[in-house]
Amino acid sequence: MSEPKYKTLVPDIEFWKGMIPCQAACPVKTDAGKYVQLIAEGQFKESYLTARSPNPFASVCGRVCAAPCEDACRRGKIDAPITIRALKRFVTEKYGVESMEPDTQDDLRNGVTDEGNKRRWHLPVLQESRANVARGQKVAVIGAGPAGISAAHDLALMGYRVTVFEASNQAGGMMYHGIPEFRLARAIIEKEIQKVTQLGVEIRLNCPLNEKFGARELKAEGYESIFLSVGVQKGRHEHRGRRPRWRDQGNRLPAEHQQRLSR
State the residues that interact with ligand SF4 by CB under 6 A. Answer: 26, 28, 30, 32, 55, 61, 65, 67-69, 84-85, 88
What is the spatial distance between Cα 258 and Cα 248, in angstroms, rounded to a whole number? 16
Residue placing its CB nearer to ligand SF4 in the complex, 56 or 209: 56
Query: Contact 229/155 with Cβ under 8 angstroms?
Result: no
Compute the least distance from the CB of residue 56 to ligand SF4, in Å: 11
Give the residue with the Cβ less far from ligand SF4, 26 or 218: 26
- For ligand SF4, give the closer residue by CB, 65 or 155: 65
Specify the residue, 91 or 140, whose C-beta has the smaller distance to ligand SF4.
91
- Residue 147 CB, shortest distance to ligand SF4, in Å, is 14
The CB density around residue 125, as the number of other CB atoms within 10 Å, is 24
Q: Across the strands, what pairs with 160?
A: none
Residue 29: CB minimum distance to ligand SF4, A: 8
Among 35, 77, 64, CA closest to 52: 35
Count Cβ atoms below 10 Å from residue 49 Cβ, excluding itself.
21
Shortest distance, position 218 Cβ to ligand SF4, whole Å: 31
**CA atoms of 31 and 51, how far apart (whole Å):** 7
